[in-house]
Structure 1
Amino acid sequence: MEQEVLAILKDIREFAKVPAHQLQWLVDHGNITTYSDGEKVFRKGDAIDNLRIVLHGEVGFYMEQAGSLRYVDVIIPGEITGLLPYSRLKNSPAEGIARGEVTIFNLHREHFKEMISSHYELTESLVHCMTDRVRDFTKQQQQNDKMMALGKLSAGLAHELNNPSAAVIRGAHELKKHLANLPERFKGVIRIRTTEEIVDWVNDLVFGKIAAAGQQTFSMSERMDQEDALLDWLEQNNIPDADELIESFADFNVTTADLEDLKKRLRPDDCPAVIHWLNQVMITERLVNEIAEASKRINTLVTSVKSYTHMDQNPEKVRADIHEGIRTTLTMLNHKIKRNNVTLMQKFQQDLPKPMILVSAMNQVWTNLIDNAIDAMEGREGSVLEIRTEKDREFILVYITDNGPGIPAALQDKIFDPFFTTKPIGKGTGLGLEVVRQIIRQHNGEVTVASEPGKTTFRVCFPEVS
């Protein structure tokens, strides 16, 4: 078995430059453990006291998330894991489960001092292995953080797009149903006998009402009184389907006085046809406006996505309006702002110059800081998010302030550290603020925090030309 283990160690890429006698020392001081399929090799929280090398089989790597185990990775034969020289890892952050029959070589930490002092090449290879492991883990966590952010934005966009898209569908359906009634109504209109002067008067009435729509506001009781008066007039004058007309007439502020003027100018037989024609025009106008407004909202969201990701630009610094980036980010996060009943205050310096920035990267900064601020205020009444910008000499300053519970003083020095997070599992990887700091430093700037109960302010400072 010893020769078999030695042969496997010689084939491991990380040990390619390690002398044979050092690998022999490793074999002589280690031991072998075996696990059957499905058996737990290690549990979350277990003390990590051994360097481990998988000889046969595979070990599934699972992390707890939202109360259940989530598959993260697999440890394959020849892979080095567990404790490494100079590593500060003390406890397992996850669970390892055997996939098939698994054989593992172990070296206890009690032998590390001798290894470090007497076997340089072996130690060096394991330190390089630890460096690669940290880099790979960081890259994977950053990718997870990006995917989590993308998931939040996707959910928000789906929520924001749902209402206008449903309005378009509903409006198109109503318009189609409404237009289906035109042939029958047209018969009555074409039989009308009147003068050009009356036709002009009716046109001025209907399109004047359309042009003035929305300029007057009515209370609920005033609206109901108007609808009751219209219904009474229409029924007294034997206008068919009177209850179907009052809503659109009230929407466009058609009054009983208008209808009386119309009645005086028309033959009694023509009055119902003209009144229904007025209703047709107003309903069509209302539905078209609803569809146009919903389509405009969808277009605004799509434009915001494009602006947020800066899809049509190369990843280089350009002069850009940071207010546009912040507003776009607020559009992307609007669903969270509304869901948490957050009052938004924007205090933007109007003549703020356009700095040289990486637009998409800076949008990540605004997203992380604003999203964190909203999360901090979750469940609190009277939540207020304030965003303020100003110029100080050659520097651009952005302040993002929330009135959440604040960050404890003991944690304020740690919040920018990689993997540090105060959020529960599944809500944060601890890389958001680290990414913010990296991006701002790319712009030769700095991000700082000042926090006390009821007020937390992140201050982003960077030069106009970085």
Structure 2
Amino acid sequence: MANVTDLKAFPGFELVPDEQLRWLLDHADEQQYAAGYVLHRPGDSIDHLRLLLAGEMTIGAEPDELLHYTAPAITGVLPFSRLTEGVQVVTVDTDARMLELHRDHLREMATTCYELTATLVQQMTDRVRNFTQQAQQEEKLASLGRLSAGLAHELNNPVSAIVRNADALRTHMRATPERFKAIMHMNLTDEQTDVVNEWLFEKLDNKTAPLTMLERSGLEDDLTDWLDDQRVPDGPDLANSLAEFRFTDADLDFILEQVGPENIAGVLGWVNNNLVTEKLVVDIGEASGRMATLVSSIKSYTHMDRGGGREAVALADGIRSTVTLLGHKIRSKNVTVTVDIPDDLPTIQGWPGELNQVWTNLIDNAIDAAPDSGGTLTIRSYVERDQFVYTTFTDNGAGIPDDIQKKIFEPFFTTKGIGKGSGLGLDIVQGVVRHHNGSIKLASKPGETTFTICVPISE
């Protein structure tokens, strides 16, 4: 049987008067549990303060274990705690011995055992602080996990494009001497050469909307017919390049008139050489630009070049960076994302890294909730009363049932299956928003779920 000496081994109990510890022994029941015993499961009522006298126990199940206790340790309900039901499985790891005090005795303890109550309240304060720190760390790791796979895929695409086009450019440049020989055999005046150059580079500089597949196919057919009529070799390949830059048979009629039938094949061969080079260089430039955008988004998301203090934050930067980094998941789920944030949106005072955790959670959850086809997510920011910035995240998923809406911001609550999420997201979101003196609200019905975040504008 447990005695006062056993209780003195618990954190803080060494300062509690012996008569108060004897009160605890008189009102508590001692229990024995075998290794593997499940004390309670998610949703079960939690009605006891538990003092682990011997053995070990764990909150959470693999691979998402949250806390591991080794005797002596204090768990369960504490004075003034609002904990009523479990959100994680609690398992005894080894044969264990516990002292259990039912919550019905906590009111009497608070009125008769001041030092004992104060020690247990301090335990609750420490528990909240430790849970919060661990939850924040878990959420940062979860966010990295959500982003890393997609980011690797996002970077792989432009890198592969650069390597592929660089090899193609190298191969293409080796064919340039043959084009040069053909040019050397042409008899063109300086005026004709200038006309060809101006005609070509005017087309290259003319940035217009790309053709549809049907439009391009029709244009290629017209160009192929024209080239065949003029007996220009490799007509289909040449027509493909010319159509890429929206050359028409009228353009070819113009250049034929300028250089004559005897020079048209050589001129168009030289033109094609330039078009292929231009296309490869443009593709390499676009891929490099995509990589630069991703690196910029990573830098903005992690704020590698800034301190960790409070600062003026432009919400649009963090939200757009997060959308970019989640781009692979957005495309794989076929979700259409619309970001409607005015350019003149005021800044807020805050911690950019924390806010990016908010955007990651809300956007990631919205993508998961979206239907497999026709999914949409609309992100909108606006100002009200010149004091607050409101940001809404609206998806067209199935919605959140009313009974779940009441629990959605509870710590560790999740509707996802094992391995599908940490269950920490919305609790962390609410904590971060409150840290910024703001609020978060949920409105949900089938086909429309909106999270609204309100934060004050920077002073």
Cα distance between partner residues in 2 of 1:60 and 1:395: 43
User: What's the secondary structure of 1:356's corresponding residue?
Assistant: strand
Structure 1 range deviating more: 253-262 or 20-29: 20-29
Q: Are residue 140 (structure 1) and residue 134 (structure 2) matched?
A: yes
Displacement of 1:129 in angstroms is 4.0
Amino acid in structure 2 at the alignment position of 1:155: A
CA contact under 8 A between 1:387 and 1:398: conserved in structure 2?
A: yes
After superposition, where does 1:61-72 map in structure 2 within 5 Å? 63=61, 70-72=64-66
Displacement of 1:283 in angstroms is 0.4
Aligned to 1:353: 346
After superposition, where does 1:218-233 map in structure 2 within 5 Å? 218-233=211-226
Displacement of 1:196 in angstroms is 1.6
Aligned to 2:450: 457
Q: Are residue 375 (structure 1) and residue 368 (structure 2) matched?
A: yes
TM-score (norm 1): 0.77
2:157 counterpart (163, 167, 189): 163
1:330 counterpart (309, 320, 323): 323
Deviations 1:371-427 (A, max 9, x none): 334433344746452524123233333333334444444454543333344444444
CA 1:377–1:22: 2 relative to 1, 3 Å: same
Structure 1 range deviating more: 276-285 or 10-19: 10-19
What stretches of structure 1 of length at least 5 have no aligned partner? none
What stretches of structure 2 of length at least 5 have no aligned partner? none
Q: Are residue 106 (structure 1) and residue 95 (structure 2) matched?
A: no
Cα distance between partner residues in 2 of 1:288 and 1:282: 10
Aligned to 1:172: 166
Displacement of 1:145 in angstroms is 2.1
Amino acid in structure 1 at the alignment position of 2:238: L
User: What's the secondary structure of 1:365's corresponding residue?
Assistant: helix
Displacement of 1:85 in angstroms is 6.8
Displacement of 1:190 in angstroms is 3.6
CA contact under 8 A between 2:54 and 2:98: conserved in structure 1?
A: no
User: What's the secondary structure of 1:63's corresponding residue?
Assistant: coil
Q: Are residue 396 (structure 1) and residue 395 (structure 2) matched?
A: no
2:202 counterpart (184, 208, 228): 208
After superposition, where does 1:232-247 map in structure 2 within 5 Å? 232-235=225-228, 237-247=230-240
Structure 1 range deviating more: 325-334 or 172-181: 325-334
User: What's the secondary structure of 1:166's corresponding residue?
Assistant: helix
Cα distance between partner residues in 2 of 1:343 and 1:351: 24
Displacement of 1:300 in angstroms is 1.6
CA 1:155–1:392: 2 relative to 1, 3 Å: farther
Cα distance between partner residues in 1 of 2:364 and 2:209: 39
Aligned to 1:182: 176
Cα distance between partner residues in 1 of 2:454 and 2:211: 48
Deviations 1:41-72 (A, max 9, x none): 4366388768353646x6666515xxxx5555
CA contact under 8 A between 2:335 and 2:377: conserved in structure 1?
A: yes
Cα distance between partner residues in 1 of 2:97 and 2:419: 33
User: Identity percentage over the alignment?
Assistant: 40
CA contact under 8 A between 1:373 and 1:385: conserved in structure 2?
A: no
Number of equivalenced pairs: 452
CA 1:329–1:246: 2 relative to 1, 3 Å: same
Aligned to 2:50: 51
Amino acid in structure 2 at the alignment position of 1:160: E
CA contact under 8 A between 1:42 and 1:92: conserved in structure 2?
A: no
User: What's the secondary structure of 2:61's corresponding residue?
Assistant: strand
Please list every run of at least 4 consecutive aligned residues from structure 1 whose deviation after the TM superposition is greater than 6 angstroms.
Answer: 5-9, 19-32, 46-50, 82-87, 117-120
Cα distance between partner residues in 1 of 2:456 and 2:64: 43
C-alpha root-mean-square deviation of aligned residues, in Å?
4.1
User: What's the secondary structure of 1:316's corresponding residue?
Assistant: coil
TM-score (norm 2): 0.79
Structure 1 range deviating more: 137-146 or 120-129: 120-129
Displacement of 1:281 in angstroms is 0.6
CA 1:433–1:122: 2 relative to 1, 3 Å: same
Structure 1 range deviating more: 333-342 or 388-397: 333-342
Q: Are residue 252 (structure 1) and residue 245 (structure 2) matched?
A: yes
CA 1:51–1:310: 2 relative to 1, 3 Å: same
Aligned to 1:94: 89
1:318 counterpart (304, 311, 316): 311
User: What's the secondary structure of 1:40's corresponding residue?
Assistant: coil
Displacement of 1:78 in angstroms is 4.4
Q: Are residue 305 (structure 1) and residue 298 (structure 2) matched?
A: yes
Cα distance between partner residues in 1 of 2:377 and 2:124: 45
Displacement of 1:200 in angstroms is 1.4
